[in-house]
Amino acid sequence: MENLTPTPDHNLTLLDLQRMVRATLESRFCEPLWISAEISELKLNRSGHCYLNLVEKGATDGAPRAEARAVIWRSAYLSLASMFEAATGATLRAGLRVLVRVMVSYHEIYGFSLQIVDLDPRYTLGEVERRRRETIARLQQEGVWDMNRELELTCPTLRIAIVSSDTAAGYQDFMNELRRSPYRFETTLFRSLMQGDAAEESIIASLHAIAEREEDFDVVAIIRGGGSTSDLALFDSYLIATHVAQFPLPIFAGIGHDKDVSVVDMVAHTSLKTPTAVATRLVEMADYEMNTIDSYANDIATIVDSRLHHEDMRIYQLGTDIERLATAAINSNQQRIELIKSALHSRLELIFSTEEQRLCEAERSLKSYSLDNILRLGFAVARSQEGVIKSVANHSVGESIDIELLDGVMGAEIKSITPKK
């Protein structure tokens, strides 16, 4: 298209400009292109079309640096989605980074968009592995890699906080295995989403809730049944792994996969293949603790029996000696007790006599301070509505008061008030 130089007299309409942009883009990008981006939003229309929002984020701050709308038409969506799920074990969803083949299009009203005609699932699997390795390296650099594994288990380990979905088969298997044991485990379920976009936030929220009640538990069990490789990539999340690594209680992970080991498995105190295996390990630990206690109990019983026999003989000898010494002591102290008894009797009589005189004197003194005696001396008591007047404060000229004398009460009015200096 030739260059144009519009002027005020020979201008372009908005439609003219949009058509020029469309023609330029379609002529420049007439063939499909392979691009990589992250899916930030994905909606499947009732008609079968899939509408996406693709985004490219900054490497340091995660802020969007480029964004574009995209669509997979119904005619291509079913085959592409099936192929992707068969290769990765996961469905197309927000948060995945994908490599897609797109046609660039531009509409005069709807603007720039991309039509996805193909995708490469190998790229997504490679991206998952890359993020996993970055998470491992970051945890090791931060010095938290071994923190949870270095925690000591309490004995016995019977109070268990469980992070799982309450409807998961793995959780039911875990609970059934514990119930078959002879031990009384105390379990508290912290319901969590174990897959999907909100699973990461849900698991971290459960760990925070457990940390707030740290004293109530001996161990934490993060359990989940089997799943696809992509679903289990959730447990390679840096945020989940760093919370597990630095958690104040030992964490047992039973995430239900036989082949791969997640980052959470690596940083957890103990990692087992399945939820049932976690429960079995807890029961085995209780067995070991109980056997240890039984062994200690037998040793203690043997020592106690021997000690008791020795002490029986010693007590018998002491009893004989005590009986003899006690008889002599009783006889020796009998006379002393009689003397003390006589002295106490005399002393108490003197004390009672002295205190009786003091009480009589106190009674006479109290009577001299009675109101009638004070009034007989010529004193008077002034009262207001609030009670006895003890100060000129809070009283005013013109206020009515009562003056009590020995033989009656006079009503009066305050004519003046002169505070003392």
Which distant-in-sequence residues (6+ apart) come within 8 Å of 54 by Cβ? Answer: 35, 37, 38, 39, 40, 67, 68, 69, 70, 100, 114
Read off the pLDDT band of 384 (50, 70, 90).
confident
Read off the pLDDT band of 406 (50, 70, 90).
confident
Q: Domain boundaries in the chain?
A: 14-119, 134-286, 373-413
> Is the predicted pLDDT of residue 230 greater than 60, yes or no?
no
Read off the pLDDT band of 409 (50, 70, 90).
confident
pLDDT, position 57: 83
> Is the predicted pLDDT of residue 282 greater than 90, yes or no?
yes
Read off the pLDDT band of 63 (50, 70, 90).
confident
User: Quick one: average pLDDT of 292-297?
Assistant: 85
Instruction: Give the percent of the chain with pLDDT over 90.
Output: 38
Read off the pLDDT band of 2 (50, 70, 90).
low
> Is the predicted pLDDT of residue 146 greater than 90, yes or no?
yes
- For the ranges 147-161, 211-225, 252-266, the lowest mean pLDDT is seen at 252-266
> Is the predicted pLDDT of residue 218 greater than 70, yes or no?
yes
pLDDT, position 229: 59
Burial 123-136 (b: 16+ CB within 10 A, else e): ebbebbeebbeebb
pLDDT, position 258: 61
Task: Give tens-digit pLDDT for 77-104.
Answer: 999 999 988 877 678 888 788 899 999 9
Instruction: Give the percent of the chain with pLDDT over 70.
Output: 95
pLDDT, position 227: 63
Read off the pLDDT band of 212 (50, 70, 90).
very high
Task: Give tens-digit pLDDT for 316-358.
Answer: 898 888 888 888 888 888 888 888 888 888 888 888 888 888 8
Cα(351)–Cα(357) distance, integer angstroms: 10
> Is the predicted pLDDT of residue 228 greater than 80, yes or no?
no
> Is the predicted pLDDT of residue 8 greater than 80, yes or no?
no
| Cβ-contact 165, 193 below 8 angstroms | yes
Phi-psi sector, 82: left (phi>0), alpha (psi -120 to 50), beta: alpha
> Is the predicted pLDDT of residue 377 greater than 60, yes or no?
yes
Phi-psi sector, 292: left (phi>0), alpha (psi -120 to 50), beta: alpha
pLDDT, position 130: 76
Q: Which of 44, 96, 35, 39 is nearest to 69 (CA)?
A: 39
> Is the predicted pLDDT of residue 246 greater than 60, yes or no?
yes
Read off the pLDDT band of 249 (50, 70, 90).
very high
User: Quick one: average pLDDT of 263-277?
Assistant: 93
What CATH number matches the domain at 14-119, 3.40.449.10, 2.40.50.140, 3.30.210.10, 1.10.10.10?
2.40.50.140
CATH code for the domain defined by 134-286:
3.40.50.10550
User: Quick one: average pLDDT of 107-111?
Assistant: 87
> How many Å is the maximal CA-CA distance in the chain?
140
> Is the predicted pLDDT of residue 174 greater than 90, yes or no?
yes
* Position 384, amino acid: S
Read off the pLDDT band of 184 (50, 70, 90).
very high
Cα(105)–Cα(83) distance, integer angstroms: 25
